Each structure stands twice: as structure tokens, then as C-alpha cells.
Chain A
Amino acid sequence: MTAPGRTAQASAPAVGVGRSSDRPTVPGSVTLGRSPRRRRRIETAYLYLLPAALLLGFVFLYPTLQSIWLAFQKNKGINDPGTFNGVDNFVKLWNDPLFWKITGQTFLWTIGVVGITTVLAYLLAIVLVQRFRGRAIFRTIVILPAATSLAFSAVVWGFAFQPENLVNHTLAGFGPAKGGIAWLANVPQAWVALIFVGVCVSVPLTGVMLAAAMRSVPRDLYEAASIDGASRVAQTVRITLPLTRTMLLITTLANFVVCFNSFPIIFVMTGGGPVNRTDILATWLYQKGFQLLDFGMASTLAVVVLCALLALSLAYVHLLIHRTKVG
């Protein structure tokens, strides 16, 4: 069975760019083979892109290149001109047990948040696509946390997780929190609190995105399955899950990239402490750069994180392209 959208796309008349791209081209003579009008259009397009490109270059490219340059320098202290030291920083980082410990913590944090978020967001999406009274209000309430700044959420949750505050008061009736758990004073309880907050701020938007994907699943599939006697659970597992798999992968990967590099929640709630036990690479980088003023090592760390995120982003882009082709 073909989705209606696909049929419409396939039968649509080829217009504009599509028409030109159908023309056979000779490798190396792409521009020469185009009409002056088309060339003008391309030039105009690039002209429109130029301000954004310049801005991006200034905001992202310049600091990135600067960081890469600093990563190969010994540069410590304010206004230190720095001295080139080759790959010394990378070797030092590689041999630092704390780097590996914090890398492990980064994956613990990322997988913890993304894993739980994915499951909860999927369940939330199932609820969001149902028809029930007050659905609009429910959706608004669900999306509200996504509109709140991460730093603000972290401050509020950090306060709530103080031993004498909201979380312990709420849990007091259940027994384990009597006397007060110092949530942020040591691991593993600090990780429980941090991942909880990470999940809370990630679930709403992910759930809404998944719900949008679920709405695109043709209803006749469910009707046919119902006629065949499939239960709601079977319909979810056999129809919804396979047909929203791509969106699930995309949201998971996007959350992974964001979470891996997420700074505000941990920085505000624990500052990476106690004793670096809740640090992730992003918060450690901040400490090295802005507290210890070791800009060389901080940049080295930034380059390592950049490479890891670049790999993840490429996978993300690949998935997006793949999904677009499929769609």
C-alpha cells in the first residue's frame, strides 16, 4: 500500500529546479552548462545566504578554529599569548584517568537521560494522539516545560532537591527520605536527581515530535488491524512503532547530541561535584577554561568533544537525508 502523499509527489509535474536537474550534465562543466538566468538565480540565492553564512562563520567557525589552534598550545592564565606544544595536550588528556572517568560519566548521563526520555516520550506521544476532553489543555501543559529555560529549570530543581526542600518533603511519607536525603551531595543519588531533571526537560518536546509522527500513520491501517481483531497494544507494536521508527531514531539521536553537550543542568545543580563525580565533559571543560584558566587544555577537550559530536551529527544528518528520501 502506498501512502497518499507519496503518490501525489510521484505524479506531480516536475517544475523549477527539478526540471533542470533532469538535464544530462557533463562532469566538470556544471556551471557552463547552465543558462545565464539559472546562474543568476544561483548567485542570488548565494547572496541571500551570505549574511547568515557570515554570521555563522563569526559565531561558530571563528571560535572553532580558534579552539583548534589553542588546543595545540600551552596557554594558561589571562592574556597568556601561549606557546605551541604540538600534541602534548592531547597526550596529557589521554593519560589523565579523570578524563576517562568523566567520559564514562558523560555517557552515563547521556544514555540515562536519552534512554528514559525516549520511553516516556513515546508513551506520552501515544496519549497525545488520543481524542479526549481537554486534550488541548493537556497538550499546552505538556509543552510548557519545553518553553522554560534550562538554567531556570535547573535552579528551581536544584532548590527542590536540597535536603530540607520539596523533594524530601514529598518523599517523607514513603519512609526512605525521613531524615532527608542529601540528593546532590554524593553519587549515586546526585545522578538520580540530575537524570530525573534531564528527563523532565527533554520529554515534552520529544513527545510532541513523536506524536506528530504518529499522526502521519494512515488511520486505515488501524481500522484494518481492528477488523482483524488486533488489540491496542498489538496495533502499537505492529503498526505505530515500525512506522514511526525513523522519527524515533532521529529524536533519539538529536537528544543524544544535545544531552552529551548539555551544560546548564549539571553546572547549576552540582557544579560537577562532589569531587568531579557528576562532571561531564562540558562542565569539566568549563572548569578547566574559566576556573583554572587553562585555556590550552580546555580547548583540547573542546576539540575532542567536537569530534565526538561531529560523528553523532553526521549520523543524524545521514538519518535525516535517508528519512527525507523515504518520505
Chain B
Amino acid sequence: METRTRPGSRAVIAGALAALVGTTLAAGAAVGQDELSGDLRVDFLAYDAKMQPWLDEMKAEFNALHPNVNLTLEIPNLDTYRDSLTTQASGGAPPDVAQIASSWLPPLADAGVLLDWEEAGYSADLLGRMDPALRDGARYQGGLTGLSYGASARAVFYNEDLFAQAGIDAPPATWDELLEDARALKAAGVEIPFYYEGKGQEAMAAWFNYVYFTNGGELVKDGKLSVDQEACVKGLTVWDTMNKEGLFQSDVTAGTFDQQVATMASGQAAMTISGPWLTGMIAEKGPDVTFSTFPVPQGTNAATVGVTDVYAIFKDSKNPAAAIAFVEFLMEPDHNLRFVKDRGFLPVYTEHFALPDFQEGPTKAFTDALPSAKFVPLDKNWVEFDKIGTNAITTMFLDGTGPEVACQAIVDGLAGLE
């Protein structure tokens, strides 16, 4: 028996089918708006106590857009973060994305565990709006394995009242002048003429480079890590002299970042070198202290140290699409601007440099210094070189062996690296 469908029924069925197709397409469009789902783990550097509230807000805002993405945002212990990240990467279980120091990139990139942001499909628009020097400074062997999200340059902070007390009219422009001013401060009874962060993680990346770069030193020669012994000796002579004359705090190798902030904020220390974040920290902890900044003094030339930290995305990421979307969200100019301002960083987007936040007040000195800043080279041997140099400089301070011996140890150590 043949079943026939009445014409009227056909129309009803056709209508129902059309409605079904329409509904499916509409649903597909909705899914298309929120096609991201799954777990996503991102590690962040422990910059300050405000990081967690910021992360909580970012997570809530991102999940409002992409409710199906299960975000795990972690702030690991900074002291052991690099070691644990390396172990996770070599074990095939890294986070999807991590904030890291740019100097950590080479060993990870050499091991082939990182994705190139450009090849992974990161927003070309956002990349195009970045300061080209800061963006391309995170390129390693041609690949954009690091995505700069904040920068810093360094300058000298000084206590204006203590300078006045010592009869110093104008901040020093050269290392010789700084030495004279430190002596004058000591003679005027200032407890710590200059605070030196001898125990921090920046012994080589920053403190060595302050005096090395400004005495003509370069860290790369013929594409390889290199140390100019003459510039090294000239530079380290400044630190060695200051240490021997008691112009630093006592026990210079115990000097920490926390104590640097505390002694500047309490008015015990007259000078130190740091990044723009110290401005807010001194203001917060020592509101009565009047301070200002001046450029890192010159030796044979003017220079300062620049630093960028970057986002790295791992090849083992189980959710690269969500990872890229989340980083694009964090790197939206408004979100990124808030992040760099909260941390006291300099921006990475060209459009942000013109803002009053970076063109007025103490931060301006850092903004002005950034174009001439020299960055730590991206080299696979940097970590080992950093350790060699840190040991050599620490030994110079502890044993009084002198800058020649320290520089020779650095040069010899570097020669022993493959």
C-alpha cells in the first residue's frame, strides 16, 4: 500500500524542516560565537600582591565571554618557577601559556617546546600595534616565541632631602660624580649612601650591566656571548670602590629587593637603581620621602638596561585556540595598559607611550631611557653565564679580590661554555 502525503501536509513538513534548519543554523551561529571550551592553564610571574585580584577579574571577564573554558590561573613561587617550568616542559606537561623572563626563552625554544605566536595565529593587528623594538626583541632565531607584555628601563632613584643635607645641588651625570656624591652623603651622616641589591636575581642581568654597558661593554660579539674585559674592569671598579669605601649598605651580598624598597622608603638609603615600579612602592611605604630619578650615570657612554617579560605558548598545549584567545584578551590594549600601570612597567603598545602616565612624573625618566636601553641577549648559555658572573662579583665583594680577578673569572667561565 502506497502512502501518500497530502499537499497540505507537504507544506507543513517543508515548513517544519525549514524551521529545523533555521534553528540549527542559529544554534550553530551561537556555538560559533563561543566555540572555545576545555581546560586552560596559565602561569603568571609573582610580581606583586595585586596580581591575584587582577587575575580574578580577568578570569571573570574572560569567562563571561567564554563560559565553557575552564581557566586555571596560577602564580607559582618565583624562586623556583624557572626550574619547575623547565621540568614540566621536558616532561611534556607544561602549562598552556606562561609568563616568563625573555632570557628563559632560548633553552625552551631550542628544545622545540614553544610555538611561534605568529605561526600559531595570534592577532596580526595586536602585533602590528606593538612597539617594533619591544616586539622583535623577543624573537629568537627568527621565531616570535615570546610575546612581550611589559617593559622596563632602569634609572637611579635618589632622596632629594638627603642630597640637600649633603649639599649636593644637582644629581650626578657620571660614575665619578656619583662616587663623589656618595662620599659626600656618607660624610653628611647618611646611613646608606647607595643601596646595592647584591642577593637578587639580577646581579648580572642588571647590576653588572649598569656599569658594563656604560663603559662601552657589549655582551654579544659575532653572534655569541662575549665580555669585553676592559669595560668589565672599568665597570666593576665602580662597584668595588663603593663597597670598599663603605658607600653601600653593610653586607652588600645580602641586599634584597625588599630591603631596597624598605631603606629607600624609610629614608635610610640615599640612592639606588631600579625600574619604574619603585616609584609607587616608595610612595606607598614612605609617603613623606621626597625622591626623584636621574639617568644611569655615564662612564664612557650613556646607556641603561632594558628588560621585557613575555608570554610563551607551549606546543604541548591541549587547548591552543583557547590559549591564544585568552592571551589576546589579556593583551587587548586596555587590559594590557591596566596591567603595566599596576605593575609599574612601561607599555609595549606604541599608542600607550604618549599617555600622561608615561610622559609625566618620575616615570618619564624611564620612558625617555627606553630607546637607548640595552637588553640581555637571547642566548642559550645566558643562565650559566649569569651564574658565573654572579659568583665572580659576589666573590669580589666577599673576599675583596678586586675587579681584575672577577672579570678574569667571568671571561674564563664564558670560555668554558659550549
Question: Taking beta carbons and an 8 Å cutoff, which residues of A are in contact with B?
Answer: 76-80, 163-164, 179-180, 182, 184-186, 271, 273-276, 286, 290-293
Contacts of A179 in B (CB 8 A): 250
In the complex with contacts A186-B398, A291-B383, A292-B387, A78-B254 CB distance below 8 A: no
Count chain B residues whose beta carbon lies closer than 8 angstroms to a beta carbon of A: 28
Q: Which single residue of chain B is at the shortest CB-CB distance from A79?
A: B111
Cβ-based interface call for B83 (8 A): yes
Cβ-based interface call for B123 (8 A): no
Contacts of B387 in A (CB 8 A): 291-292
Q: Mark B83-109, 1 if CB is under 8 A from A, else 0.
A: 100110110000000000000000110
Instruction: Report whether A182 and B111 are in contact in the complex, using a CB–CB cutoff of 8 Å.
Output: no
Instruction: Report whether B86 and A185 are in contact in the complex, using a CB–CB cutoff of 8 Å.
Output: no
Instruction: Report whether A273 and B259 are in contact in the complex, using a CB–CB cutoff of 8 Å.
Output: no
Q: Which positions 344-371 of chain B face chain A at CB distance < 8 Å?
A: none
Instruction: Report whether A180 and B111 are in contact in the complex, using a CB–CB cutoff of 8 Å.
Output: no
Q: How far is the CA of A291 from the CA of B103 in the complex (A)?
A: 13
Instruction: Report whether B113 and A79 are in contact in the complex, using a CB–CB cutoff of 8 Å.
Output: yes
Instruction: Report whether A182 and B395 are in contact in the complex, using a CB–CB cutoff of 8 Å.
Output: no
Q: How far is the CA of A226 from the CA of B147 in the complex (A)?
A: 80
Cβ-based interface call for B412 (8 A): no
Instruction: Report whether B83 and A185 are in contact in the complex, using a CB–CB cutoff of 8 Å.
Output: no
A185: which of B199, B380, B384, B391 is its contact (CB, 8 Å)? B199
Q: Which single residue of chain B is at the shortest CB-CB distance from A184?
A: B254
Instruction: Report whether B250 and A293 are in contact in the complex, using a CB–CB cutoff of 8 Å.
Output: no
Extra A-B contacts (18), CB below 8 Å, given A179-B250, A275-B391, A293-B383: A76-B418, A77-B111, A78-B113, A79-B112, A164-B259, A185-B199, A186-B251, A186-B398, A273-B199, A274-B199, A275-B394, A275-B398, A290-B86, A290-B87, A292-B383, A292-B384, A292-B387, A293-B107
The secondary-structure label for the interface of chain B is helix
Contacts of A274 in B (CB 8 A): 199, 253, 394, 398
Instruction: Report whether A78 and B90 are in contact in the complex, using a CB–CB cutoff of 8 Å.
Output: yes
Cβ-based interface call for B110 (8 A): yes
Question: Taking beta carbons and an 8 Å cutoff, which residues of B are in contact with A?
Answer: 79, 82-83, 86-87, 89-90, 107-108, 110-113, 199, 250-251, 253-254, 259, 380, 383-384, 387, 391, 394-395, 398, 418
> In the assembled complex, how far is the CB of residue A151 from the closest CB belonging to chain B, in whole angstroms?
11
Contacts of A292 in B (CB 8 A): 383-384, 387
Contacts of B113 in A (CB 8 A): 78-79
Q: How far is the CA of A292 from the CA of B107 in the complex (A)?
A: 10
Instruction: Report whether A291 and B83 are in contact in the complex, using a CB–CB cutoff of 8 Å.
Output: yes
Instruction: Report whether A276 and B251 are in contact in the complex, using a CB–CB cutoff of 8 Å.
Output: no
Q: How far is the CA of A106 from the CA of B112 in the complex (A)?
A: 37
Q: How far is the CA of A311 from the CA of B247 in the complex (A)?
A: 51
> In the assembled complex, how far is the CB of residue B72 from the closest CB belonging to chain A, in whole angstroms?
23
B90, B112, B259, B380, most chain A CB atoms within 10 A: B90
Q: How far is the CA of A76 from the CA of B89 in the complex (A)?
A: 14
Q: How far is the CA of A292 from the CA of B83 in the complex (A)?
A: 9
Contacts of A180 in B (CB 8 A): 250-251
Top 6 closest pairs, chain A to chain B, by CB: A182-B251, A185-B254, A78-B111, A182-B254, A290-B83, A79-B111
Contacts of A182 in B (CB 8 A): 250-251, 253-254
In the complex with contacts A78-B107, A292-B383, A292-B387, A185-B89 CB distance below 8 A: no
Q: How far is the CA of A292 from the CA of B380 in the complex (A)?
A: 10
> In the assembled complex, how far is the CB of residue B113 from the closest CB belonging to chain A, in whole angstroms?
6
Instruction: Report whether A78 and B86 are in contact in the complex, using a CB–CB cutoff of 8 Å.
Output: yes
